[in-house]
Amino acid sequence: MEAMRLPGLIDESMDILRISDLRIGFTIHGLSRDVVKGASLRVPAGKTVALVGESGSGKTVISQAIMGLLPRAGSITGGEILFRDPLAPETVVDIATLPAEGEGIRALRGGRIGMIFQEPMSSLSPVHTIGNQIEEALLLHRPMPKAEARELIEAMLKRVGFKNPKRAFGLYSFELSGGLRQRAMLAMALICQPALLIADEPTTALDVTIQAQVLDLMRDLQAEMGMAILLITHDLGVVANMADEVVVIFHGEIMERGPVEDIFRRPRHPYLKALLDASPHFDMQDGERLVALREARPRPVVASPPPTPAADAAPLLSVRGLHKTYVTGSRSFFGKGTQTSVKAVDNVGFDIRRGECLGLVGESGCGKTTVSKIVMRAVTPDSGEVIFDDGRERVDVLGLDGEDLRRFRPRVQMIFQDPVSSLSPRMTVMNILREPLVIHGRGDPAEQNERVRGLMQDVGLDIRFLNRYPHSFSGGQRQRIGIARALALDPELIICDEPVSALDVSVQAQILNLLKDLQAERGLTFLFISHNLAVVNYMADRIAVMANGRIVELAPRHALFARPAHPYTRALLRSVPFADLDRKLDFKLAAPGGASDDSHWGAAFRVGPDETALTPLPLGDGHFVLARPSADIRELVP
């Protein structure tokens, strides 16, 4: 404390925030538990400090403590949080000692420390306009006439990227896209020109190209306004591109901290090295495995892998000409109204060979989930054909109904994104895994129990867990239960819809490895849907890229990453942040309207004036790109 009061000039070397030996305890059901155990870190003025860790490591709790917004069960049990305002450098406030809802902390919150969150949709009130919410923050800390406030707000909205700030002022959050919502949040957090911005996973919920834009905006605003940023994230790629200093936290303890150069080039602590090894990246060799932070339970080894079928065999699943249009808007009584139709799936076709993993990549809203639901027969397409061929008979999936459909169902199974909501909280693991066997009448109860035990071992779970309910498992364990359930009926095709995007990096590596092993052992066929290119790169043999309901490029994995032909694919690849200081993102290259805005694509990739439909043009080696039939192939290949 004494040392802090020594000469404090407004210079770059001053620490805005200095946390020392911070301890935070949570009391749950009468048991108190330390969540943050003596953490120390600093945020220098005008710099970006990244706080990196897995979920549950205490990084969000630290940010809540800085804002004085700890949940009721939590409290600071020791240490100090010293905040020094660059506008009044001689006074140092210890936030840890301020009363939780007192005036002191409220003047800092929003006024001197701004905060943005992971989910911009839920962070903004849906029943108040964007302008109203920003205005509230401004007038609270800087009372001024409304007209003047309105001018400031519109200037700010323009600055964060709203093309028509006057109109944006009166919009509601649900009328905006995810990226614009996060921009509105930024405008709200920065309207009072705070000295510190706390960004808690600000881009985790956004698509990669939008993420690149928002990160770029944050850096620009930082340069203009000179605020410091405390960036909380688990994504080392984002850290490498944004941070000046890095703090690594694990189970409430700081493992390592220092300038980003030191941390990335000379990681001393094994935890950080492990974290780097656990995340999939584009430079992985064939057959290279992710190293999970904590190895899961060993699984029984299957001796002989099934024979791989001949390459020229008919594909297991063959999809042709799928169309699906959703109609939204109000329908009036007299047939008019404000209906708009959205082409969710527009002439989509692909094959999945037996034993192959086909990756389906695209940003949110591109139609990839709709495609999977059509294959599952959960959504009926407007037109198209889905043929399932197991080598013995050809099944027209869309033509099935009644008992035929019921008998077909076990052959295609699904692994879902959210391991919490996809398991019934009222069923034990035993019941969850037995249910598919019971529905399809596989074996007597004794055989079913035996089968369930086998499944548990297959996915690396202890059979003693069978009588537990899902809530007593971690996210990774729950996802294993979901995988076991999908395997229960010995399906031939498994659709994985974003199976790891709700999981932490370390757990993600375990699940991806498990899926790979299962595929190798049983010759499973996967349709692997994800928005994360690195994950798809790790899993898939061939990759289809979807944009605006169409497959714009389809290629073997190597070809897609080495020679991407479509501008959308290139924009996606350009926007992925690498956890590598030597390959920083060029933020300015990100397409202004998002990568799926086809007005930025080359003429060859858009429907031309002659209205001829785009077709997949072969570029050789099974590499196809959607372009005008008249386009010159040599020009398309980079």
Q: Which stretch binds other proteins (CB under 8 A): 143-151, 171-179, 276-284, 427-435?
A: 171-179
Tokens 């059901």 found at: 29
Q: Is 105 helix (H, G, I), strand (E, B) or coil?
A: helix
Relative to beta strand 196-200, strand 113-116 is parallel
Q: From CA 621, how far away is CA 248, in angstroms rounded?
A: 44
* List 148, 175, 283, 382, residue binding other proteins (CB under 8 A): 175
| 109 touches other proteins by CB under 8 A | yes
Q: From CA 482, how far away is CA 618, in angstroms rounded?
A: 38
What's the min distance (Å) between Cβ of 310 and other proteins? Answer: 41
| 188 touches other proteins by CB under 8 A | yes
What's the min distance (Å) between Cβ of 295 and other proteins? Answer: 35
Amino acid at site 31: L
Q: Which stretch binds other proteins (CB under 8 A): 48-56, 184-192, 381-389, 549-557?
A: 184-192
* List 285, 304, 338, 599, residue binding other proteins (CB under 8 A): 338
User: 129 forms bridges with which residues in the sheet?
Assistant: 172
Q: Which stretch binds other proteins (CB under 8 A): 115-123, 148-156, 518-526, 621-629?
A: 115-123
| 407 touches other proteins by CB under 8 A | no
Nearer to other proteins (CB atom), residue 90 or residue 334: 334
Nearer to other proteins (CB atom), residue 225 or residue 636: 225
* List 11, 99, 144, 174, residue binding other proteins (CB under 8 A): 174
* List 32, 97, 122, 630, residue binding other proteins (CB under 8 A): 122
* List 53, 110, 355, 367, residue binding other proteins (CB under 8 A): 110
Q: Which stretch binds other proteins (CB under 8 A): 110-118, 237-245, 393-401, 417-425?
A: 110-118
DSSP character string of 193-231: --SEEEEESTTTTS-HHHHHHHHHHHHHHHHHH--EEEE
Q: From CA 569, how far away is CA 638, in angstroms rounded?
A: 12
Q: Write the DSSP symbol of residue 328.
A: E
Note the helical H segments in 350-424: 368-375, 402-408
What's the min distance (Å) between Cβ of 140 and other proteins? Answer: 6
Nearer to other proteins (CB atom), residue 29 or residue 588: 29
| 360 touches other proteins by CB under 8 A | no
What's the min distance (Å) between Cβ of 323 and other proteins? Answer: 15
- Name the token pair of 188: 């709200």
Site track 66-95 with other proteins (rule: CB under 8 A), x = hit: -x-x--------------------------
**Contact predicate 34/77, CB 8 Å:** yes
Note the helical H segments in 71-205: 103-108, 120-123, 130-141, 146-159, 165-169, 178-190
Q: Is 508 helix (H, G, I), strand (E, B) or coil?
A: helix
What's the min distance (Å) between Cβ of 55 and other proteins? Answer: 16
Nearer to other proteins (CB atom), residue 138 or residue 560: 138
| 199 touches other proteins by CB under 8 A | no
| 152 touches other proteins by CB under 8 A | no
SS3 content of the chain, % helix, strand, coil (to 5): 35, 25, 40
| 106 touches other proteins by CB under 8 A | yes
The total of other beta-carbon atoms located within 10 Å of residue 638's CB is 8
| 467 touches other proteins by CB under 8 A | no
**Contact predicate 563/637, CB 8 Å:** yes
| 421 touches other proteins by CB under 8 A | no
Nearest to 415 by CA among 296, 542, 526, 316: 526
Nearer to other proteins (CB atom), residue 108 or residue 512: 108
| 123 touches other proteins by CB under 8 A | yes
**Contact predicate 632/621, CB 8 Å:** no
Q: From CA 198, how far away is CA 213, in angstroms rounded?
A: 18
Rg (the chain; Cα; Å):
27
Q: Which stretch binds other proteins (CB under 8 A): 172-180, 307-315, 406-414, 523-531?
A: 172-180
Nearest to 218 by CA among 38, 1, 48: 48
* List 33, 326, 463, 589, residue binding other proteins (CB under 8 A): 326
What's the min distance (Å) between Cβ of 106 and other proteins? Answer: 4
| 3 touches other proteins by CB under 8 A | no
* List 101, 286, 401, 611, residue binding other proteins (CB under 8 A): 101
Q: From CA 115, how far away is CA 109, in angstroms rounded?
A: 8
Nearer to other proteins (CB atom), residue 175 or residue 635: 175
Q: From CA 379, how far away is CA 370, in angstroms rounded?
A: 7
| 119 touches other proteins by CB under 8 A | yes
Nearer to other proteins (CB atom), residue 171 or residue 573: 171
**Contact predicate 377/317, CB 8 Å:** no
Q: Which residues bind other proteins (CB under 8 A)?
A: 67, 69, 101, 106-111, 114-115, 117, 119, 122-128, 136-137, 140-141, 172, 174-175, 185, 188-189, 326-333, 338
